[in-house]
Amino acid sequence: MAWTDNQNQTMPAEFILTGITDRPELQAPFFVLFLTIYVVSAVGNLGMIVLTKVDSKLQTPMYFFLRNLAFIDLGYSTSVGPKALVNFIADQNTISYHWCATQLTFFILFIISELFILSAMAYDRYVAICNPLLYTVVMSPRVCWVLVAVPYVYSTSVSLITTIKIFLSSFCGHNIISHFYCDSLPLLTLLCSSTWEIELFILVCSVFNLVSSLLVVLVSYILILKAILKMNTAQGRQKAFSTCGSHLAVVVVLYATLAFMYMQPKASHSFDTDKMASVFFTLVIPMLNPMIYSLRNKEVKGALHRVWKNLCKIPI
C-alpha cells in the first residue's frame, strides 16, 4: 500500500476496514439484511421530510423538528450505510484517505446534531403540554430555527476540529481500521504521535454533548410528568403519556448506546462490541425513528391519506 510523506506527516493513501464480520458465509445474508434496513430507513425519512413539508396541517413546530430529525437520520445512516453495503460484496474493504476524513466529519456532525434536536423536541413537548396557551408565542418560527441552527453550527465545528486534529497527525505503518466505517476511536489507535490532546477533546465534547442534551430532556420530562399527573381527564393523560413515552424510549436507547461506546474505560474497551452497538444506532435507529415518532401519529396518518388521495386524482 502507498504511503506519502508531507512535511514530516505520514499519511496512508487508503485504509482497510475490517467490516462487521470476517466470516464469508455471513456476507450475503448481512448484505440483504442491511440493504433492507437502509432502504426502509431512507424511504421512511425521505417520506417524512416531504410529507411534513408539503402538508398544510403539519406546519407546526413539532413537525418542523421531526423534519430535521428525519434529515439527520438520513444523513448519518447514509454516511455509513452505502459504504458498509459495498464492503460486503467487495474483495477488499478499503476506503481512501480523503473519503475516510469526509465520512468521519459527516458522521460526527449528524450524531451530535441528533442529540440536541432530540432535546429541542423534548422542550417543544414541555411547552405544548405545560404551557399550551403560550405555545405559539414561545415556539415561534424564529425560536424554532435558532433551536435547529445552533446545534448544526456547533456540531459542524466539533466535527471539523476532531477530523482535522486526527488527519493532521502522523500515522504509523498500519492502515487497518477495526470497524466498518471511519470512527474517531479506531483511527486514534493508528497514530504515532501523541493522542492525549485529541482524546481529551473528544472526551470533554462527548461528556458535554451527552450531559447537557440529556439534562434538557430529563428536566423537560419531569415537568411534563408533573403536568400530566395534574390532568383531570384520563384520555388527556393517556394521549400525553403515549406521545412522550415513545419519544423518551428512543432517547434512552440512543443515549445509552452512545454512552456505552464513547464513555467506557479504555482498559475494557472492545471494538468488536462497538461494531454491534454502531450497527444499532447507525442503521436500526434511523429506520425506527419515522415509525416511532410519526407513523403512530394520527395527524401523520391523516396527511398520508390526503397525499394518497391527491395522487390518485392525478390523470395518467
Cβ-based neighbour number of residue 137 at 10 Å: 10
| CATH architecture assignment, domain 14-295 | Up-down Bundle (1.20)
pLDDT on residue 237: 76
Beta strand ranges found along the chain (DSSP E): 3-6, 9-12, 14-17, 94-96, 176-177
Angle value at C-alpha 135, between 133 and 138, nearest 5 degrees: 120
pLDDT on residue 244: 75
Give a three-class secondary structure readout of 19-39.
Answer: CCCCCHHHHHHHHHHHHHHHH
Domain borders along the chain are 14-295
Contact 303, 59 (CB under 8 A): no
Q: What's the gap between Cα 277 and its chain centre?
A: 13
pLDDT (tens digit per residue) in 145-200: 999 999 999 999 999 999 999 998 888 877 888 888 898 888 998 888 888 999 99
Host H or E run for residue 231: none
The model scores a pTM over 0.95 = no
pLDDT (tens digit per residue) in 204-240: 998 899 899 989 999 999 999 888 888 777 777 777 7
Angle value at C-alpha 288, between 284 and 291, nearest 5 degrees: 165
pLDDT on residue 40: 93
Instruction: Give the end-to-end CA distance of the chain in Å, rounded to a whole number.
Output: 56
Contact 134, 93 (CB under 8 A): no
- Average pLDDT along the chain, 316 residues, taken 10 residues at a time: 52 82 82 92 91 85 92 93 86 86 94 94 91 91 96 96 92 82 88 88 91 92 88 74 72 76 60 74 85 72 74 64
Residue 229, sorted as left (phi over 0), alpha (psi -120 to 50) or beta, turns out to be: alpha
